[in-house]
Structure 1
Amino acid sequence: MKTSVLLKIKLLLILSVLIPISELFAQRLISTEIVGNGQPIILIHGMSSSKGVWDETVERYQSQYELHLVSIKGFGNKEIESSEHILAQIKNEVIQYVKDNTLTKPILIGHSMGGFLGLWAAAEEPDLFGKIVSVDGVPYFPVLQMPGITPETAQPMVDAMKAQFANSDENSARATQEMIVSTMIATDSKREKVVQMGIDSNPEVIGQAYGEMFLTDIRDKVSEIKIPVLVFGAWAAYKNYGATKESVASGYKSQLANIENVTFLLADKAYHFVFYDEPDWFYDNLDEFIATK
């Protein structure tokens, strides 16, 4: 037994000399599928989702661009990998992926959590990406619904949230997922696909990642972003709670004010999955942004 352990340690030491540490330990949480040819575009899905949310996007752009579809352990699958901070690790792995594959100024498009990660990555590596597109992802999303919240005051909610995810059974998980998705997608025919992604996800991973979204505030970092940024926002899901288009727009703009080169567009009717609810409007604006030199 002792000999076997020593051999493993020696092998690891040999590998650490032959292969950079960043390559040995990179991409523990993410994997990628590459489709198409052309300028690279990285696509990162949101919470409790998978790369399947981008099916229409792939269909539209695969003949013009090289699409790098990111999959994450525990999202849309039951895999799990221990991590002290899932979101930071995903962000770091995406950055390392771009460097390891020598991608030249890729465009990063992220939905929700993926958009947040894109903004964070661009703030930390201002020269690495070409453009960032965030689909309803902002530097600190809880503030949009709970003005005044901070990572410190959010901790009790995070603890309760993690416990709820950990203790949910299959039936309650479906009911919860259906309820959540109904507030995020206005188009009935698009809901079941995303519901199933949530059910297929690992509840422990999702609970941790949700909690980290409440505890990770990058509003003081985004001033480091120098490249063009396009942010799509949504407000229609909040109007039954007294929100107006103007009040919601103000909340987004306050979070994006420190980004030097940002374009903000607010959908009229779409919920959180803007590309499902207003696809023509979404893709017309996305086409123009990514094509602009």
Structure 2
Amino acid sequence: MKTSKLIMVRLLLILSFLIPSNKIFANQLISTEVIGKGQPMILIHGMSSSTGVWDEFVERYQDQYELHLVSIKGFGNKEIASSEHFLAQIKNEVVQYVKDNTLSKPILIGHSMGGFLGLWAAAEEPDLFGKIVSVDGVPYFPVLQMPGITPETAQPMVDGMKAQFANSDENSARATQEMIVSTMIATESKREKVVQMGIDSNPEVIGQAYGEMFLTDIREKVSEIKIPVLVFGAWAAYKNYGATKESVAAGYKSQLANIENVTFLLADEAYHFVFYDEPEWFYDNLDAFIATK
């Protein structure tokens, strides 16, 4: 008996050195794929998407940068993921990933939800990243469409939203995704790929994550960001609802007002997936921002 206990103690001691406790998440939500060599660049996709949204981005930059593509459970896959605070855990895991892999001042680029997570991570870890690029992701996105909304007033809406996602009918999933994606991508040839990502996603996971976007307001926190930030915005999808380029720009600027070193650029014709709809404009401005000291 004493011998078996001694062996167990030794095994636990060995494991404590091999797997430091600060690297362990009870239910890991992210995984990564690394492509290319050079300065590290972390890519985080948006809601109901997968790393496939970055395919053209990877083709363009893999010979210049070390690209770390972040995959999330339940996004573009049917994996089940449970977390009391889903978005916060993703953000924490990305931060820990950078620390565990000793990535030196990586550039973090996120689309939509991924951009929001990048801003949040930079606010909590001001010295960890080199630059942040957010593609149509802001500190509290519901305000862009519902002025005056707060996490408190959003709660009843979120409860209904989560129930709707959880009880979604698979037979109508394609029609729903096609309708949603048509408002997010102006370029028709780019839509099907993203539609399929949504169909392949886990509806309960997406429902929780989407709800948390309504309940997480970091507009005050982003004042802690000291590194350069580039935010791409889009307005064209809203012009049929009475919005103007000027009114949409004002909404973005109010969200970003607390960020000390921010550059905001508003696309002319792109919808939410700016890199699909105005690729030359997007990449030209991204290259210029990255090159800036």
TM class by shorter-chain length?
A: over 0.9
Amino acid of the residue matched to residue 257 of structure 1?
A
Partners of 1:50 and 1:72 within 8 A in 2: yes
Unaligned segments of structure 2, at least 5 residues: 1-6
**CA contact 2:27–2:81 (8 Å) conserved in 1:** no
- Please report how far the alpha carbon of residue 122 of structure 1 lies from its aligned counterpart in structure 2 after TM superposition: 0.1
Other-structure match for 1:259? 259
Take 2:26 and 2:108, find their aligned partners in 1: how far apart are those partners? Answer: 19
1:5-28 deviations in Å (ceiling 9; x for gaps): xx9999668634652112232780
Separation in structure 2 between the aligned mates of residue 228 and residue 87 of structure 1, nearest angstrom:
23
**CA distance 1:79–1:254, shift in 2 (3 Å):** same
- What residue is the counterpart of 1:57 in the other structure? 57
Please show how residues 102-113 of structure 1 align to structure 2 within 5 Å: 102-113=102-113
Consecutive unaligned residues of structure 1, counting only runs of 5 or more, are 1-6
RMSD: 1.7
Aligned pairs (5 A) from 1:147-158: 147-158=147-158
**CA contact 2:76–2:200 (8 Å) conserved in 1:** yes
Q: TM-score, normalised by structure 2?
A: 0.95
SS in 1 for 2:24: helix
Report the CA distance between 1:156 and its aligned residue.
1.0
State the match for 2:4 in structure 1.
none
Indicate the SS of the match to 1:25.
coil
3-state SS of paired residue (1:78): coil
CA separation of 1:241 and 1:102: change in aligned 2, threshold 3 A:
same
Say how many residue pairs are matched.
Answer: 287
Tell me the TM-score normalized by structure 1: 0.95
Per-residue deviation, residues 192-234 of structure 1 (Å, max 9, x unmatched): 0000000000001000000000000000100000000000000
Matched residue SS, 2:70: strand
1:172 aligns with 2:172: yes
C-alpha distance in 1 between matches for 2:8 and 2:132: 42
Q: 1:12 to 1:271 in 2, by over 3 A?
A: farther
Detail structure 1 runs of 4+ shifted over 4 Å in the superposition: 7-14
Q: How does 1:202-217 map to 2 (within 5 A)?
A: 202-217=202-217
Query: How far apart are the structure 2 equivalents of 1:285 and 1:17?
Result: 45
1:60: how far off? Answer: 0.5
Mapped to 1, the partners of 2:202 and 2:273 lie a distance apart of: 21
Which SS does the other structure have where 2:160 is aligned?
A: helix
**1:185-264 equivalence runs, <5 A:** 185-264=185-264
CA contact (8 A) 1:107 1:130 kept: yes
Confirm whether residue 89 of structure 1 aligns to residue 97 of structure 2: no
- When residues 218 and 8 of structure 1 are mapped into structure 2, their CA distance, relative to the original with a 3 A threshold, is farther
In the alignment, is the contact (CA less than 8 A) between 1:126 and 1:226 conserved in 2? yes
Q: Distance in 2 between matches of 1:269 and 1:173?
A: 28
